[in-house]
């Protein structure tokens, strides 16, 4: 695919983050650098996952692959949300089968061992990759940094791996709430300089992934997870747009919208128009096509994508998937999603969208 050069992608992206009307939606995909791309699989055949994350030239190449192949409107740096957990002192094993932290955090003593790290000294490969990406794409393409939200990172740090329901994490939260909140605070305090280093390296915006917040009740979310998110957002101090992604979180979205984030990124389980009606126009939205739709026929991909575009009539909306692109997605289907978003002129759509 030929990358469109007539649009200033960074301006388009920033206008959408500010809730402004745009001629077309900016579009990118979570996990857009990944196993569905044959060029990514070629690199992974020679290099381990963590090796790619920690080698700036490899991370840069992988990050740029979907930009070259699909012409997406933003390049997100290739990394993993558990990189800070390792820098805080936890051994980390990462592969395509998921993460493993063999020395999980289970006590006050474990929490107190965690350290606040210098991101340039201990994770300098990440800002270096961002600097290289910025140089490669130029001044008119947004480059995105990211981190895991404190609650989601804590789920892995306490459980040691992904487990349905995260029972060990909740047991820790309920039996030792003060210690657990200290854990969330420490993660937040480590995340702030980690994101600031990415911004200093040239990130146009940053995204906080709270993949597992939907496991919490509204009360637990408001009392534990949300304050830690607010701490991170406040620590960034509005220097760049802040995107907050939540999954399976319909019951939490009103509270999540009060986090201070510029953009709320939501999954496919919610209707974007309903969320905009409930939350108002002061927070932009990102999403929310079901990644599984990209496994289906082309007509369905186009229909669902156009539905998402229509739902907000182009104001304060970044087109994305509701979660990461699936590894079995055909490349041509990913291309169709991106092209459908980029070719939909919003001025022609607004009357139809307003009549829905």
Query: Is 35 considered catalytic here?
Result: yes
Peptide bond just before 288 cis, omega within 30 deg? yes
The per-residue DSSP string of 296-351 comes to: S-HHHHHHHHHHHHHHTTTBSEEEEESSPPPTT--HHHHHHHHHHHHH--HHHHHH
Three-class SS state of 259:
coil
- Burial of 143 per CB tally in 10 Å (0-12, 13-18, 19+): buried
9, 69, 80, 132: which is the annotated catalytic residue? 80
Catalytic-residue membership of 44: yes
Rounded-to-integer distance, Cα 205 and Cα 38, Å: 28
Determine which one of 15, 24, 31, 131 is catalytic. 31
Is 174 labeled as catalytic in the residue annotation?
no
Indicate which residue of 40, 156, 194, 221 is catalytic: 156
Give the side-chain half-sphere CA count within 13 A for 314. 20
- CA end-to-end span of the chain, whole Å? 33
> CA 283 → CA 111, 184, 269, distances in Å?
34, 25, 19
On the CB side of 293, how many CA atoms lie within 13 Å of its CA? 24
Q: In whole angstroms, what is the distance from residue 68 CA to residue 352 CA?
A: 33
Pair of tokens at residue 268: 């496919």
Q: Map tokens 């409930």 to a residue.
A: 278
Q: Do the Cβ atoms of 206 and 81 come closer than 8 Å?
A: no
Our answer to whether residue 221 is catalytic in this structure is no
Q: Is 31 part of the annotated catalytic residue set?
A: yes
What is the dihedral sign for C-alpha 280, 266, 205, 162?
positive
Which of these is catalytic: 9, 15, 24, 44? 44
Query: What residues are labeled active site?
Result: 31, 35, 44, 80, 156
């Amino acid at each position: 695919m030929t990358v469109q050069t007539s649009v200033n992608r960074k301006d388009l992206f920033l206008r959408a983050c500010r809730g402004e009307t745009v001629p077309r939606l900016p579009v990118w995909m979570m996990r857009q650098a990944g196993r569905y791309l044959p060029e990514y699989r070629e690199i992974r055949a020679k290099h381990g996952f963590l090796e790619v994350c920690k080698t700036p030239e490899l991370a840069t190449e992988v990050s740029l692959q979907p930009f070259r192949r699909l012409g997406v409107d933003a390049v997100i740096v290739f990394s993993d949300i558990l990189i800070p957990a390792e820098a805080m002192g936890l051994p980390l094993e990462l592969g395509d089968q998921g993460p493993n932290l063999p020395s999980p955090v289970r006590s006050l003593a474990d929490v107190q061992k965690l350290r606040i790290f210098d991101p340039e000294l201990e994770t300098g490969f990440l800002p270096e990759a961002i600097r290289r990406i910025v140089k490669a794409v130029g001044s008119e393409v947004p480059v995105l940094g990211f981190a895991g939200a404190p609650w989601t990172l804590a789920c892995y740090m306490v459980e040691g791996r992904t487990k349905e329901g995260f029972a060990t994490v909740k047991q820790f939260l309920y039996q030792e709430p003060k210690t657990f909140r200290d854990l969330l605070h420490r993660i937040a305090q480590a995340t702030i300089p980690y994101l600031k280093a990415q911004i200093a390296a040239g990130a146009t915006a940053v995204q906080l992934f709270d993949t597992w917040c939907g496991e919490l009740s509204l009360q637990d979310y408001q009392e534990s997870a949300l304050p830690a998110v607010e701490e991170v957002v406040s620590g960034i101090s509005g220097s760049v747009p802040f995107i907050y992604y939540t999954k399976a979180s319909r019951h939490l979205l009103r509270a999540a919208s009060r986090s201070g984030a510029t953009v709320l990124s939501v999954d496919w389980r919610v209707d974007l128009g309903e969320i905009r009606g409930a939350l108002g126009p002061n927070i932009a939205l990102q999403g929310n096509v079901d990644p599984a739709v990209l496994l289906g026929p082309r007509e369905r991909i186009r229909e669902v994508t156009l539905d998402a575009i229509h739902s907000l009539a182009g104001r304060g909306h970044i087109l994305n998937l509701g979660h990461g692109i699936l590894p079995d997605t055909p490349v041509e289907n990913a291309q169709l999603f991106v092209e459908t978003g980029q070719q939909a002129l919003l001025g022609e759509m607004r009357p139809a969208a307003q009549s829905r």
